[in-house]
Amino acid sequence: MSQYLFLAAAIVFEVTWAVMLKLSRGFTVGWASAAMVVAYAASLVFLNLACERMPISAAYPLWTGVGATLVALFGLLAFHEPLGWGRAIGMLLVMLGSVVVLAFEPSAT
C-alpha cells in the first residue's frame, strides 16, 4: 500500500513542478524557478520509492497520465486555458487508461 502513497506524492510534486514551470516565466521568477527544481527532485525521489515496490510498467504510466491530466485541469481552472472537445476527450482517455493500468495491477509485487 505504501507504493501508492509514494506514487501519489510523486504525482503531487509532478503537478507542482509543472505549474511552477509556467509561473517561472522562462526561469525569470526566482522563487518559482527554485520551487520547480525542488518539486521536480521530490517527484523523482517519490517515483523511485514507488518503483521499488511496484513495476515501472505500472508506476510510470500512472505518474505521467494522472500527472498530465491534473496539470491540464489546473491549466483550465487557474490559467483559464481553453477546453476543446479534443482536449477533453484526450484527458478522459488518459484517465481511463490509468484506471485500466491500476485495475490490472497485481496485488503483490
Q: What is the pLDDT of residues 20-69, one digit of tens each?
A: 999 999 999 999 999 999 999 999 999 999 999 999 989 999 999 999 99
56-78 helix and 2-23 helix, angle to the nearest 10 degrees: 40
Q: What is the pLDDT of residues 58-105, one digit of tens each?
A: 999 999 999 999 999 999 999 999 999 999 999 999 999 988 988 887
In this structure, what C-alpha cell is assigned to residue 56? 515501472
Q: What is the pLDDT of residue 107?
A: 65
Q: What is the pLDDT of residue 105?
A: 76
Q: pTM of the entire structure?
A: 0.89
Q: Where are the domains of the chain?
A: 2-103
Cα distance between residue 109 and residue 43, in whole Å: 22
**Which amino acid appears at position 10 of this protein?**
A
Q: How far is CA 74 from CA 38, 77, 101, in A?
A: 20, 5, 23
